[in-house]
Amino acid sequence: SQTIHQWPATLVQPVGSPLSLECTVEGTSNPNLYWYRQAAGRGLQLLFYSVGIGQISSEVPQNLSASRPQDRQFILSSKKLLLSDSGFYLCAWSVKGDVDGYTFGSGTRLTVV
Amino acid sequence: GQQLNQSPQSMFIQEGEDVSMNCTSSSIFNTWLWYKQDPGEGPVLLIALYKAGELTSNGRLTAQFGITRKDSFLNISASIPSDVGIYFCAGHSQGSYKLIFGSGTRLLVRP
């Protein structure tokens, strides 16, 4: 069966420090991958999505970047965190052409102090 | 771009009451989905709808795909404390890689 792993679960980082959040999917190949951010008590904002290795689409201009170095690995990064980067970050995957398979990871709560 | 308007933003109800929430869109979707997010977790798919007019149930949950393809509603009957969470609608357009999510309905259930 397919599983999605996200880590770390929680992270407290100072302003100006770098960030690296990792997401991996098991049990499938060539998935679509997504990074979402959820501010406290708010909806889901799509940050990046990827349809293949090295293919990244950015949805909103921001202080973050994403990379897909391997088929089932999706990384969210920042060189210098801002206070406004705090939030709950969710990774998700889907089978190509199958929107039902939009499965979320358990999330990373990032607090920038 | 496409937007989904989800209402209400929050609901605080008594255990045993029925709940209704809905989403409307400015454009047509081919698929409507409803997700539930427990506190501190990622959203989990509850119901998927594929055809205009479709009515689908999953236990105490019932959802409908609006005939105009621009709206959907979710009903929860006889609510229980474990129904607490944030419910999101999501729409998908043909040929798109992305789901468009509503802003969520926060449900609190008083025992």
Q: Show residues of chain B in contact with A51, CB under 8 Å.
A: 97
Taking the CA of residue A18 and the nearest CA in chain B, the distance in Å comes to: 24
**In the prediction, which pLDDT does A101 show?**
60
| CB-side neighbour CA atoms (13 Å) of B111 | 2
- B→A contacts (Cβ < 8 Å), by residue, are 6, 31, 33, 40-45, 48, 88, 90, 92, 97-99, 101-104, 106
pLDDT in tens, B47-102: 999 999 999 999 999 999 999 999 999 999 999 999 999 999 999 888 787 888 99
Dist CA B28 CA B26 (whole Å):
7
Per-residue pLDDT tens over the stretch A59-113? 887 789 999 999 999 999 999 999 999 999 999 999 877 666 689 999 999 999 9
Inter-chain CB proximity A43 and B103 less than 8 Å: yes
Q: Compare all CA atoms of chain B with the CA of A102 and give the residue at the minimum distance.
A: B45
Give the three-state DSSP class for B73. Answer: strand
CA distance B61 to B77: 7
Give every CB contact of residue A107 below 8 A, 6+ residues apart in sequence: A6, A9, A38, A88, A89, A90, B40, B41, B42
Under the banding of pLDDT at 50, 70 and 90, the label for residue B40 is confident
Q: What is the mean pLDDT of residues A7-31?
A: 95
Q: Give pLDDT, residue B1.
A: 59
Residue A24 pairs in a beta bridge with A5, A73
How distant is the Cα of B49 from the closest Cα of chain A, in angstroms? 10
Write out pLDDT tens, residues A22-71. Answer: 999 999 999 999 999 998 767 888 999 999 999 999 988 778 999 999 99
